[in-house]
Structure 1
Amino acid sequence: MKGLLIFLCFLVTPITQAGTYRWVDENGQTHFGDRPPANAASDEVELKAPAPSSDADARARKERMNEFLEQTEQERAERNEAKAQQEAKAAKHEAMCESLRARLKYIKSVSGIYRLNNDGERVFVDDEENERIRQEFRTKVQNECGA
């Protein structure tokens, strides 16, 4: 059994160390492959493992890339939060304007405007005051909400 295992290891080793071949086609382009082509001359190319110092460089690049991605994600989250706040503010403003416009429409439709006195009784204002209140409210709606 042990001998069979050693024999299999020797068979697998050449397969895992298959060569890399380089050849030039009829158009002058260089190609690489794990098998030599049948219709062209090829050279076996020896591939070398990267030097240990380049592994440290690769780790440093990967770390910088991860930092960049984290920073980008944080900036994106901040932009999305700011956008959501701006949309909420705009929605709140639009709701306020809708309410003001509805009140303006109501004020235009009533014949007289009244105030409550200290006893809680209605006291209707005269026509001049009535028109002044309506004009002030129209101005307020225009200033807050535009046309």
Structure 2
Amino acid sequence: MPWRQVAVFVSVFIPAVSVAEVYRWVDDQGVAHFSDRKPSEGEHDQVELKRPSLIPMRENITRGKRVSAINEQVNRSLEAGSSDQRRPSDRQEARERNNARCQGYRKKLARIHQQLRAGYSNDQGNRLRRQRRELSQKLSRECLLG
């Protein structure tokens, strides 16, 4: 029986709220007020309420699941990389090769920056910026993130 009373109350109350009017007025001290009742004195404006926009969440949920799956995949590959079964000397050699490659990227980037500062034609500038972008991506993927 109480559920029926709640249902009746909600069905009567919800439509009343959706058609409620909102009034706005500014008092003599310059403070703006909003209310669902008309002020007893002074000028007031009726506020036009727009319907709320509804945004479907399905796409956000799908993207969130996709991002979570990628994060799990990255974490698994990082865990697999941390349990490296190579000999210490092999790991040291690989680290040295990686450092040399990263140093080469940094030198090339410095040379490109120098050329860009020195001046260039339009075509040459576009080529240098493209090379800088590619080298920066390699540097961050292989040296900073890896």
**TM-score, shorter chain, exceeding 0.5:** no
Greater share of strand = 1
Normalised by the length of structure 2, the TM-score is: 0.33
Normalised by the length of structure 1, the TM-score is: 0.33
